[in-house]
A = this chain, B = another copy of it.
């Protein structure tokens, strides 16, 4: 960490937070990840060495607390770390408002499905096991099909057929699904425009947008403070 030599609190904060990846790691911890490889899932392009380094640095700064219960290490935000929710949110809302364009490299079906799986409003789903399949038509075959399930109060996602009955099939492109998830487009408009189609009983088709919803940030943006 290099310093700025300024008393200004913005500078003091940036000394800690302006390093590459740092705030994304915090975002993952805010989203609820507790273990090393759980965090990694949210920042798959970060090398484990670097993640380790960042976690250590955050620990040194009193933002993260690491506890090693026997063999399993657990990471948690301290109160100071939890208070970064304001920074992460401000950053995200600004990004959402002003950086609409995503390059091809920004689109990642793994990342998208993982984020959806952990964010969807489980309470809005039916009681029993419910499975939605996603067919992404513009993606290499091995990452084109995903199964998202809710059973009781647990959600799961995988890229292979888990063998259960499928309640709905969402067919669309990765970019479209990402844009809807981010809140750049609405389910309604996309469905009407035909850039997304949903298969299933008519009840289910009507319900799917409510099952999936949108990213946490999009929900915040929809309720302008």
A residues lining the B interface (CB < 8 Å)? 2-14, 16-24, 27, 43, 45, 62, 80, 83-84, 86-99, 102-103, 105-108, 111-112, 115, 178, 181-182, 215, 217
Given A18-B20, A90-B86, decide whether A112 and B7 contact each other with a Cβ distance below 8 A. yes
Cβ–Cβ < 8 Å partners of A94 in chain B: 9, 13, 83-84, 86-87
CB distance from A54 to the nearest CB of B (A): 12
- Whether B5 and A92, one on each chain, are in contact in the complex, defined by CB atoms closer than 8 angstroms, is no
Determine how many copies of this chain the complex contains. Answer: 2
In the assembled complex, which residues on chain B have CB atoms less than 8 Å from the CB atom of A8? 24, 27, 92, 95, 111, 115, 215, 217
B93 close to A9 (CB less than 8 A)? yes
Pairwise interchain contact B83-A7, C-beta atoms closer than 8 A: no
A-B contact pairs, 26 of them (CB 8 A): A3-B103, A3-B105, A3-B106, A4-B21, A4-B45, A6-B106, A6-B108, A7-B111, A7-B182, A8-B27, A8-B95, A8-B215, A8-B217, A9-B92, A9-B93, A9-B94, A10-B91, A11-B24, A13-B94, A14-B24, A16-B99, A18-B19, A86-B90, A86-B93, A86-B94, A87-B94
Residue from A12, A23, A87, A102 with most neighbouring chain B CB atoms (10 Å): A12
Minimum Cβ distance to chain B for residue A184 (Å): 10
A7 is contacted by which of B4, B62, B97, B178 (Cβ under 8 Å)? B178
The answer to whether A96 touches B27 (Cβ under 8 A) is no
| CB-based contact A96/B9 at 8 Å | yes
Other A-B pairs, 18, CB within 8 Å; known A83-B97, A86-B90, A90-B91: A3-B106, A4-B45, A6-B43, A6-B111, A7-B102, A7-B106, A8-B217, A9-B92, A9-B96, A10-B27, A10-B92, A14-B91, A14-B95, A17-B91, A62-B98, A86-B93, A87-B90, A90-B90
